[in-house]
Structures are given as structure tokens and as C-alpha cells.
């Protein structure tokens, strides 16, 4: 039996493909610190579960394809508090940000079209683009520049007649970069000049540090209203990854009239998760401030512990909960696997994500890892000590 | 701004596109019987909600991309009770049958490939095929033959080098046909001869009437194990449409190794819905018998009431909860719209689905409607009386 070129060309998730090694570590009795996956440890706000338990549904019916009315109204209100103005009709609820990204790509690209993405990038986005036979055109960003965007001329050179969109994740996964207003204005300028869509993945928006706000692209310029497709999700900011609730948001009415057809074809999104998520979006700014502070203090712990490790370099995360670290080794995937399968420190080890799949070309990022700081500070300290000890041992052996 | 050809070619859901007319009817104060959508009124088994309320989750984490272990084990056991043997590794949990269909199509077809489907067909399947630029090749079935399959030679003529699969929905939506073992054997024979996949959508499997069991394609021939992709869902059989839980099931290990990559890219399926669905699959055969009886008695009511309407023809449903009715009119979409916007009988009307989008060519099915018998018997009687009265009035006016 044959398979589609689409799936043959697809890579296994780099974050999940070391699962066999991690299973080995577990069956060897080791305790693992999972720094490889962006799964927050913070509790999901109780109001989610309370709303789910309170509902008196007898028959679990399809919700409207656009989404539950109360949930959409709750999103509109929550955005309004942050001076981001969208109407009810601008929002379609999706199965997480994943489906929102799929819908965006599906609605605006035909095979062989091109999308520009700052590199390193969120790897699943590229999986989705491959599924639609879209060419990824990387905008290279580097550690020395804290992974901020290059000059406008550098990006402009990458644009051609097949370019359909620029995809921005802000704050960024995997780099932790928060783009400045100037950088966002540059993106808008290019989008308007070349008639490009901007797909703005803002699922980490409330999580920015050092009193530096992450600006939504929706607030940059009204002129770009038709260009902008905003992606949202409850997963990261509300620690609710298992509630598959996201949204695709745009003021481009024609675009939304096409996307609702994609939404209708898959019928609806989980009823109970929509009931719970409605309450999450009702949380006020204090909640955002609280989690930002928590992740900022974790970032500080991570940086302090990384400073103790010789020979490594890293950028300074401004938001989200990731940091990319460049190791003084040849092959970070080999190292990550070795840490799971062959190393332990007092019966414990750490699971880090090799970064090479965050880059398009296979010669980049091969000596980098991504760390997600999704543990409390004491656990993070311990995990980074183990990383330090592991790296020292690895360097002696290889 | 431009859109993809993919979404431009997509139709609005025929079941949902009359929503503006139905909204008008509602705002006019009419009571509507929704016979247009396959949304069962039967209560979701309480064990679903009890399990959800019982869980003590504090942080709603991603489930494994393959699905929650207990849910998969529950599916394996439930199938085993029906002598359908699958292993844990053969199953990936999906966002409803919709995502299972998307994964199947995505994994086995490249653009311009062809898939054979008995016509009339479930319209969203064709939406998914269009999204992937796949050509739908209809196997015409007719009312006179109760929408059963034609002779093998007729189907064989439709197969060429681009044909990748035959997609079968059994029991069928929208026809209610339950294919015989001989028909299924014919499909298997063709699949083996021409190296085709069989995508077998069996979400209505337990719902068959007159002591005639709907046979799973998984039990027809071991030789076809690598060819068969089975689609399942809790929506219809457990009245749980709003729990977006389905599954894609196959013994073809290479195929599943590709499909897990698609599942990994979208991360996971709703955690709470998986907790609830685990309990649904634990319900024993008595539950299946109970709902079959209920839908059978509704089918009987529908047939009895349809007999009272002059000039119509219809097939005899053997399973699921749909019936296609041929009306003595020119344009069933016009009629359906008129029933909502311009007709009422004692303040009430019915919403029926025009059937033309269940056919590929626009000249077919134009005088047909689909009725979903998703109300109790008294309500169904009332709804069909209104349909009769409405049709009589319509025939006098047009």
C-alpha cells in the first residue's frame, strides 16, 4: 500500500520523538524533569472545572460551528480589556491554536505558495505547511541579536509573487523573543506593500517580562485589518493545554466567510471545553500579571543556573517560557538521547528538546537545545544542576 | 486579499446554510422541528458526565497524541465484544470522525488522486476531499434499489491508476442503507485486486434494524487488513456529538506510523472528553440494542406518516437515522427555505435538509430532502404532519 507524499515528507515531532528514550529512562527507574515540552505545571484556574461541573447538559449536542456564543463574547470582552477590539463576527473557535493555524494556511495558500517565518520556528507550524505543500521561507534570526528580526531589506529580499503571508509568533516559541513595536510596524509595512497576510500567533501574549508588554499586531495599524489573522488559545496562558480551545480571529469578512466553511465541515469544537474556557477568558488582568511574574522569576532562575555552566551561550528570553541554549558539543540530539538513556545524577535526569528541527536546513541548530521552564523554581534549579553535571560528563566521554 | 482555490471551491454546509431562514422563522416566533441535522435527542449516557465530574485534574495537560490509554483500551474491549479484533497500537483517538476522515485522506492521497464513494454521500466527506484537491468519483446508487451498491462490473469501470480508495459509510448517511455481507465482500475483492484502501466509516454500526446486523468491514477478510481504515465516533451511537471523540483504526502499521505524525502536529484531543468517552465504550450490548429499537420504532413512525403523503417516494432505511424522500416538486431547496420563511401550521414548521449537495452533479437530488428522525415518536408524527400540510400548500402555490 502506498502513502501520500504529504505524510512521507512529514517529520516526527522533535519534541515527542525521543519518547522511546524517555520510556527507557522511566523503566530504568529514573526520575525525569521534562524540560522538552511546553506543558505548564501551573494549575488550571478552578473556575474552568467548576463551570464544567455546574453544567446540567443532558444531551451533549454540537455547538455552532463558529463556537459557543458565550465563549466568543467572553473572548471579545477579554481582548477589549487589553484595548484589542474585535467583534463577535470576527471570531471562530477552533480545536486549539493548531486548528486555527491549519484553517489560516488552508484558506490563503495553494500548493507551492510561500510563507515567511522567523527561524528558529515552532515546529508544528512547519508540519502544517508541509501538509499543504507550502514552501517555508525562513527569516533567519540569531542568538547574538536575541533572535530579533533582521533589517527590513533582508526580509524584503525574500518576498516574491508566490509569497502569501508572514507568520509571526509573539512572544516567540522557541526563542522567548518579544518583538518590539518597531519590528511589528515593519511587518505591517511589508504586508501592506506586498498585499500579504500576517498570521500572528499570540498565544503567549500575556506572558512577557521586565515590564515590557507584548504588543498585539491587532493594535498596530487599522490599515492592516484585512491582512491580519490572529491566532489565540487557552493552552499556555491559562495552563489548559488539554482543553483544546483556540480561536482564529480576523476583521477580513471575506476571509472569515471562507474559514467558516472549513469549520462547518468539521462540525464543532468540544462542548464541555467551551463551557470551561468561557470562564477562563473572564479572568481579569491580575491573573495575567500573576503568571507573568511567575514565569519571569523562573526565567531568572534558569539564567542564573545557566551562568554556572561553562562553554554554553544563550539568548535572554523576554516572554513565553522557553530558552534556546547553544551547547559546546557536536550533536544536541545525541546529547538529549544520551541524557535519557545513559546518564543519571542521583537517579534523576532531564529531558531537553534538540533544536535542529526548529530550523529548515539540517545543518542549523544541531548544537542547540530548547528548555521549557515549566517547573517551579526549586525543581528548575535541580533540573539545571543535573543538566550541568550531565554536560560535564558528556564532554569527557565524547 | 486573495484566498486559496481550496476554500473558494468549498460549498457551505447544505445542512447549515439555511440557518438564516431558520433564524428568521425563530424571530417570527415559529416553533421549528429540526429534521435537518443528525443531532440525536436521546440523552448522553450519564456515566459520561459522572466520570467528568469525578476526575480530580488540577492542571489540564496534553494527553498523548495517540490518545488517552484508558480510552483506547476501552475501545479495544468494546470492539472485542462485537468480535472485531484490534490492538492498542491500531487505534489513534481523533477530534470526532471528522478528523479521522481528514487523517485518512491526508495520509493516502496526493492532489488529483481519486476516491470512489457511493452517491448520495455524506457531504462533509466531500468537503474534506476538496480541501485536499482529491477528485470524488461517485458510485451511483438509486432509490429503486434502496441505495444498495450496483454490480461489481459497474464499480470496476470507475477504477483507474489514480484511484486510491473506496469510501464506505455503513450504515449509510444520508440513505439509511445497511450494506449486505456480499456487498462488503465485493468492496474487499476490488480493494485487493486494485491495491486500494477501504475507508470504512462505521459510526452508525450499532444502529441497524429488523434484526439485520450491520457487519464491520474489519470482519470480512484478514487479507484486507492492510487495506482497511476504520472510522469510529461516539457522536451518534452514544448521543455525544458535542464530545469531539472519534478514532482512526487500522492494522496497517506503516500507515499508522504516518498518521501518528499528523496527530502529533495537532498535539492532542480534549482531555475531559476522553475521560467521559472512556465510560461510553464500557456500555454493553444492551445499550446498543436499546437505541437500535428506539430508532427502529421511529423509522416505523416516519414510514407510516410518509405513506399518508401523496406523490412522494422514498427508500426503506435499514439503519442509522436518516431517510431520503423524493418530492413531487422542482426544487427541494426552495421548498425547504419556503417551509422556514413562509409557512407555518399552528405556529410550527419543519426544517428539512435539501439533498442536492449529497450528489456531485448539480442536476441530481434536486427534488429530494433528507429527514433525520432525531425526535421522539410523538414529535415525529407532528413534524411529519406539518411536512404533509406544508407540501400540500406549496404544491398549490408553485
C-alpha cell at A313: 551561550
Percent of chain A with pLDDT over 90: 91
Tell me which residue has cell 406518516: B305
Long-range contacts of A310-314 (CB under 8 A, 24+ apart): A311/A395, A312/A391, A313/A143, A314/A143
Tell me which residue has cell 454521500: B121
Contact B107 A3 (CB under 8 A): yes
A7: nearest CB among B2, B106, B127: B106
Distance from CA of B10 to the nearest CA of A (A): 7
Is the separation of the CB atoms in A50 and A279 below 8 Å?
yes
| Cβ-Cβ contacts under 8 Å, B270 against chain A | 242-244, 270, 272-273
Q: Rounded CA gap, A370 and B207, in Å?
A: 50
The number of C-beta contacts closer than 8 angstroms across A and B is 234
Does A114 contact B at CB distance below 8 Å? no
Is the separation of the CB atoms in A66 and A93 below 8 Å?
yes
Q: Rounded CA gap, B244 and B256, in Å?
A: 21
**In terms of C-beta density within 10 A (0-12 exposed, 13-18 middle, 19 or more buried), how is residue B112 classed?**
exposed
Q: Which residues contact A249 (CB under 8 A, 6 or more apart)?
A: A75, A86, A90, A91, A92, A218, A229, A230, A231, A232
Contact B13 A65 (CB under 8 A): yes
Contact B268 A242 (CB under 8 A): yes
Does B182 contact A at CB distance below 8 Å? no
Q: Rounded CA gap, B283 and B107, in Å?
A: 32
B107: nearest CB among A4, A111, A128: A4
SS3 assignment, position B18: coil
| Cβ-Cβ contacts under 8 Å, A62 against chain B | 37, 39, 241-242
Domain boundaries, chain B: 5-43+286-397, 57-283
Q: Which residues contact A392 (CB under 8 A, 6 or more apart)?
A: none
SS3 assignment, position B66: coil
Tens place of pLDDT for every residue, chain B, 398 residues?
899 998 998 887 776 778 889 999 999 999 999 999 889 999 999 999 999 999 999 999 999 999 999 999 999 999 999 999 999 999 999 999 999 999 999 999 998 999 999 999 998 888 899 888 899 999 999 999 999 999 999 999 999 999 999 999 999 999 999 999 999 999 999 999 999 999 999 999 999 999 999 999 999 999 999 999 999 999 999 999 999 999 999 999 999 999 999 999 999 999 999 999 999 999 999 999 999 999 999 999 999 999 999 999 999 999 999 999 999 999 999 999 999 999 999 999 999 999 999 999 888 999 999 999 999 999 999 999 999 999 999 999 98
Phi, psi of A178 (to 5 degrees): -110, 115
Residue in B closest to A192 by C-alpha:
B1
Is the separation of the CB atoms in A63 and B270 below 8 Å?
no
What part of A 256-275 touches B (C-beta under 8 Å)? 258-262, 264-273
Is the separation of the CB atoms in A231 and A100 below 8 Å?
yes
Q: Rounded CA gap, B154 and B150, in Å?
A: 6
pTM given for the model: 0.96
Is the separation of the CB atoms in B336 and B366 below 8 Å?
no
Q: Rounded CA gap, B72 and B85, in Å?
A: 13
Is the separation of the CB atoms in A270 and A244 below 8 Å?
yes
Q: Rounded CA gap, A61 and A63, in Å?
A: 6
Q: Rounded CA gap, A140 and A151, in Å?
A: 11
What part of B 89-108 touches A (C-beta under 8 Å)? 95-96, 98-99, 102, 106-108
Predicted confidence at residue A1, as pLDDT, reads 86
Is the separation of the CB atoms in B230 and B167 below 8 Å?
no
Distance from CA of B398 to the nearest CA of A (A): 32
If we measure between CA atoms, which residue out of A103, A91, A225, A104 comes closest to residue A164? A104
Interface with B, mutate which of A260, A272, A274, A279 (most B CBs under 10 A): A272
Please state the separation of Cα A97 from the chain's center in Å.
Answer: 9
Contact A58 B52 (CB under 8 A): no
Contact A95 B95 (CB under 8 A): yes
Cis peptide bond N-terminal to B178, omega within 30 = no
Is the separation of the CB atoms in A10 and A127 below 8 Å?
yes
Predicted confidence at residue A242, as pLDDT, reads 97
CATH number of A5-43+286-397: 3.90.1150.10
ipTM of the complex: 0.95
Distance from CA of B309 to the nearest CA of A (A): 31
Phi, psi of A139 (to 5 degrees): -95, 105
For A263-296, the pLDDT digits (tens) are 999 999 999 999 999 999 999 999 999 999 999 9
Give alpha helix (H) positions in chain B: 5-8, 19-27, 46-54, 69-81, 96-108, 123-131, 152-156, 181-194, 253-265, 271-280, 285-306, 332-341, 377-397
Topology annotation, domain A57-283: 3.40.640
Q: How many CB atoms lie within 10 A of CB B122?
A: 23
Predicted confidence at residue B307, as pLDDT, reads 98
Phi, psi of A201 (to 5 degrees): -85, 105
Is the separation of the CB atoms in A236 and A34 below 8 Å?
no
Q: Virtual CA dihedral for B113, B115, B120, B123, nearest 10 degrees?
A: -70
Q: Rounded CA gap, A370 and A326, in Å?
A: 9
Q: Virtual CA dihedral for B119, B123, B129, B135, nearest 10 degrees?
A: 30
Contact A268 B242 (CB under 8 A): yes
Predicted confidence at residue A347, as pLDDT, reads 97
Q: Residues in chain A with pLDDT < 70? A: 14-15
Q: Rounded CA gap, B316 and B303, in Å?
A: 8
List, as one string, the DSSP characters of A212-262.
-PPPPGGGT-GGGTTTEEEEEESTTTTT-TTS-EEEEE-S-HHHHHHHHHH
Amino acid at each position: 500500500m502506498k502513502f501520500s507524499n504529504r505524510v512521507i515528507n512529514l517529520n516526527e515531532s522533535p519534541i515527542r520523538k525521543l519518547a522511546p528514550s524517555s520510556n527507557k529512562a522511566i523503566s530504568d527507574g529514573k526520575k525525569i524533569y521534562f524540560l522538552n515540552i511546553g506543558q505548564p505545571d501551573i494549575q488550571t484556574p478552578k473556575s474552568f472545572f467548576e463551570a464544567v461541573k455546574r453544567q446540567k447538559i443532558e444531551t451533549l449536542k454540537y455547538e455552532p460551528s463558529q463556537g459557543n456564543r458565550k465563549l466568543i463574547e467572553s473572548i471579545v470582552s477579554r481582548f477589549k480589556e487589553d484595548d484589542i477590539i474585535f467583534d463577535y463576527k470576527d471570531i471562530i473557535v477552533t480545536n486549539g491554536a493548531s486548528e486555527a493555524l491549519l484553517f489560516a494556511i488552508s484558506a490563503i495558500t495553494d500548493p507551492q505558495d510561500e510563507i515567511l517565518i522567523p527561524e528558529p520556528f515552532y515546529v508544528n507550524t512547519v508540519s502544517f505547511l508541509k501538509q499543504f505543500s507550502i514552501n517555508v521561507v525562513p527569516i533567519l534570526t540569531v542568538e547574538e541579536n536575541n533572535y530579533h528580526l533582521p533589517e527590513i531589506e533582508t526580509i524584503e529580499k525574500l518576498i516574491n509573487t508566490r509569497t502569501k503571508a508572514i507568520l509571526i509568533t509573539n512572544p516567540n516559541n522557541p526563542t522567548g523573543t518579544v518583538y518590539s513595536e518597531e519590528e511589528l510596524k515593519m511587518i505591517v509595512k511589508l504586508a501592506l506593500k506586498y498585499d500579504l497576510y500576517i498570521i500572528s500567533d499570540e498565544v503567549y501574549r500575556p506572558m512577557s517580562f521586565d515590564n515590557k508588554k507584548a504588543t498585539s499586531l491587532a493594535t498596530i495599524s487599522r490599515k492592516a485589518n484585512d491582512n491580519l489573522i490572529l491566532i489565540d488559545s487557552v493552552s499556555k496562558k491559562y495552563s489548559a493545554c488539554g482543553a483544546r480551545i483556540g480561536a482564529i480571529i480576523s476583521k477580513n469578512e471575506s476571509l472569515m466567510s471562507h474559514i467558516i466553511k472549513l469549520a462547518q465541515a468539521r462540525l464543532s469544537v468540544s462542548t464541555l471545553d467551551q463551557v470551561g474556557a468561557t470562564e477562563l477568558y473572564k479572568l481579569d488582568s491580575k491573573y495575567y500579571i500573576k503568571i507573568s511574574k511567575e514565569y519571569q522569576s523562573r526565567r531568572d532562575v534558569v539564567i542564573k543556573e545557566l551562568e554556572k555552566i561553562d562553554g554554553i551561550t544563550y539568548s535572554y528570553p523576554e516572554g513565553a517560557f522557553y530558552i534556546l541554549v547553544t551547547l559546546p558539543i557536536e550533536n544536541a540530539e545525541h546529547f538529549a538521547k544520551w541524557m535519557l538513556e545513559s546518564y543519571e545524577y542521583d537517579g534523576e535526569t532531564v529531558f531537553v528538546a534538540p533544536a535542529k528541527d526548529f530550523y529548515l536546513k539540517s545543518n542549523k541548530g544541531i548544537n542547540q537545545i530548547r528548555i521549557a521552564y515549566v517547573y517551579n523554581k526549586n525543581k528548575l534549579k535541580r533540573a539545571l544542576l543535573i543538566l550541568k553535571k550531565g554536560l560535564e560528563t558528556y564532554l569527557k566521554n565524547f
